[in-house]
Amino acid sequence: MPQPSTPLPCPCGALSPRRTPLAYADCCGRYVEHFDATPAPDAERLMRSRYSAFVRERGDYLLATWHASQRPATLAFEPGAHWLGLEVRSHRVLDADHAEVEFVARYRVAGRAVRLHEKSRFVRETGRWYYVDGDSR
């Protein structure tokens, strides 16, 4: 059991410069918990924070960071999904307001292992990055 003082590691698996797990509060939590004040500064960090929001079932954040042109009306989380980790394969900056992030996310549900491999498109509008859509690989 972790000590009560042990900070919760960030679900996205990011490491500090000392190669220790970053705490959620120091990583994606900065954006997920403070969406209005602190938008994710680039597409990769938005992608990571959206993964963490999936793990923590934060539909409010997922919808708020979905571009209005593609945003679903509601969001349902797969019951019993156990997220295993995120691997960011590439972060391609196309221009100041467009970027692509390729990632692999893994989870297990009902004894079945699921691997999501997607190249996602992001756009920046009025200083905020949004997820637009993605191609499954």
Cα Rg for the chain, rounded, in angstroms? 15
Please check whether residue 99 is in contact with residue 93, taking contact to mean a CB–CB distance below 8 angstroms: yes
Please check whether residue 29 is in contact with residue 50, taking contact to mean a CB–CB distance below 8 angstroms: no
- Minimum CB distance to Zn ion smaller for 15 or for 110: 15
Contact segment (CB under 5 A) with Zn ion among 12-20, 74-82, 87-95, 114-122 equals: 12-20
- Minimum CB distance to Zn ion smaller for 10 or for 99: 10
The reply to whether 28 sits near Zn ion by the rule CB under 5 A is: yes
Q: Which residue has the tokens 């960090």?
A: 45
The reply to whether 14 sits near Zn ion by the rule CB under 5 A is: yes
Q: Which of residues 49-68 bind Zn ion (CB under 5 A)?
A: none
Structure tokens at 45: 């960090």
- DSSP helix/strand/coil, 56: coil
- DSSP helix/strand/coil, 65: coil
The reply to whether 10 sits near Zn ion by the rule CB under 5 A is: yes
**Nearest approach, Cβ of 112 to Zn ion (angstroms)?**
25
**Binds Zn ion (CB under 5 A): choice among 9, 27, 93, 114:** 27
Q: In the complex, which residues of this chain contact Zn ion (CB under 5 A)?
A: 10, 12, 14, 27-28, 48
